[in-house]
Amino acid sequence: MLTNNKFSYVNIDKEAFATDLNKKGSYYANVVMWTILFSLPLFWLLDYLFLSNDWTQLFLIRLIVTIVTYGIFMFGIKIRWSYINTTTVFISIYALTFAFICGTVPLASMMAYFLWFSVFMLLVNFTLFWPVIYPILLCLICDIIIIVLFANKDRIDKYQILVTHGGAIYFILSSFSCLVAYNRYIALKRDIARNILIDEANNKLLAQNEKINDQKYVIEDVNRKLNVLNDYRHNTMNILLNDFKNFTGSISMSLGLLDNNADNITQEQREILNYIKIGNDKLKYMSEKLALSADREEAKVDFNYERFDIGPVVEKAVVDIAADAAQMKQIGLQLHLAPMAIMVYLDKLFLSQVLFKLLTNAIRHAEKGSTITVHTNIANDKCIIEVINFGRLIGKRNMDELFNKLQTNRSVNNAVSEEADMGFAVAKKLTETMGGVFTYNSDEKTGNYYRIEFNSTQ
């Protein structure tokens, strides 16, 4: 039973796919064009070896062709021409020049130049990343030029000479090179699509990892509140037990009085009943207090401030938290800690969450293969943490959207478990809630830049 193994491009980000295709094509186009430009001395040498009598004319022709193609190459870069257009014009000029030379060289050198032309077409199509329609059209035009040039020769056996002196080899290899170009284009296109899918899967894994760590911070914060609540209830229970002891003591004393005066209900018995009533009121009061303690409001974030050196906290966030995420996206991490201790008065738990949120989302929005640097410094009694990425720019407008997704009426406690796309907004909100300043920028000069400032302590 046949299975359809055709690759599906339906779920792939079209913009990212087009960008990666253009990058891949531009890279291989630059390789081919610069290689051909620097191969000019080799062409001269081969002309001198195979056409020792007429090599000076070819010397000038090749020099002019090189100058023209270099001008086209630089002009295409200046006007940001598509790599397909630049490459097609560039290669076509060289290929057409080769075709004219092969159709006009003497019989003794014809085999060498046809073989040389065949190798040229093979290497070009083995290296370039372009749609197969371009090499097919180029080969057809070159074939037509060669056939027309041979048709104008006066010899009767001109087509036999064309076939036996390298023409047949050229026609076969040039046609085969078109097939190579087609297979190469399809294979690389599929690899690019798969890499995009892998990157999207890695981003989803990062998002899941961020959610898991969010839950960890929430659990730690709730555990800290439960400890406070436990102490509170423990103290309340101690008071309650103490009142119970006094109450049971008063009952024992009242019962003793009743035993001593059991004939009639006297004034003392009335006092005993009064004691019982008071004790019952106390029990009711303490029961209400205990019930209120169970409903005590613990929803708001209570920061547990302490004084510590921020360097080890940043180092732990980079090494223990962000390193795995960076490895998944093949992103380099560089840590530059200040040589001196930078003391701050903050909540260490929530500072770790700020760093985790910032680094995870900086990695998620960074270009694959780029490098993220993390710096700590102190200036004007301010502790400064900087995260910089000189890769593909997010853009200031997109950053504004990412950092302002958190609604103003949403509490910080609810924010720590929000969707991963709100990570930047959560980090900014937590920073500001702890009295810090969070700034960001994205342009050619600064790259993707994130900066956190806190007051430092002595």
Per mean pLDDT, which of 85-89, 253-257, 319-323 is the most reliable? 85-89
**217: in domain:** no
Question: In terms of pLDDT, which residue wins out, 23 or 325?
Answer: 23
**244: in domain:** yes
Output the pLDDT for position 222: 65
Task: Tell how far CA 433 is from the center of its chain.
Answer: 27
CATH number for 442: 3.30.565.10
At 183, list the tokens: 């297979």
Residue 245's domain comprises 225-294
Output the pLDDT for position 408: 47
What is the pLDDT confidence band of residue 68, given thresholds at 50, 70 and 90? very high
134 plus 231 within the same structural domain:
no
**372: in domain:** yes
**142: in domain:** yes
Output the pLDDT for position 327: 73
Question: In terms of pLDDT, which residue wins out, 286 or 95?
Answer: 95
Asked if 262 contacts 219 with a C-beta cutoff of 8 angstroms, the reply is no
Q: pLDDT at residue 173 above 80?
A: yes
Output the pLDDT for position 47: 82
Output the pLDDT for position 5: 47
- pLDDT, tens digit (0-9, with 9 covering 90-100), for 234-284: 566 556 555 655 555 565 555 555 555 555 566 666 666 566 656 555 655
- pLDDT, tens digit (0-9, with 9 covering 90-100), for 425-452: 888 888 888 889 999 998 888 889 999 9
Tally of structural domains, the chain: 3
- pLDDT, tens digit (0-9, with 9 covering 90-100), for 35-49: 888 888 888 888 888
Alpha helices per DSSP H over 105-167:
107-127, 133-151, 158-162
Q: What's the mean pLDDT in 403-424?
A: 58
- pLDDT, tens digit (0-9, with 9 covering 90-100), for 175-222: 898 998 888 888 888 888 777 777 777 777 677 666 666 666 666 666
**C-alpha dihedral sign at 324, 327, 329, 334:** positive
What is the pLDDT confidence band of residue 366, given thresholds at 50, 70 and 90? confident
**396: in domain:** yes
**196: in domain:** yes
Q: How far, CA to CA in Å, does 296 sit from each of 230, 379, 391? A: 12, 42, 49
pTM of the model as a whole = 0.51
**405: in domain:** yes
282 plus 345 within the same structural domain:
no
248 plus 356 within the same structural domain:
no
Residue count of the chain, please give it. Answer: 458
Alpha helices per DSSP H over 339-452:
348-364, 396-403, 412-415, 423-433
How many helices (H) and strands (E) in the chain? 15, 7
Q: pLDDT at residue 153 above 90?
A: no
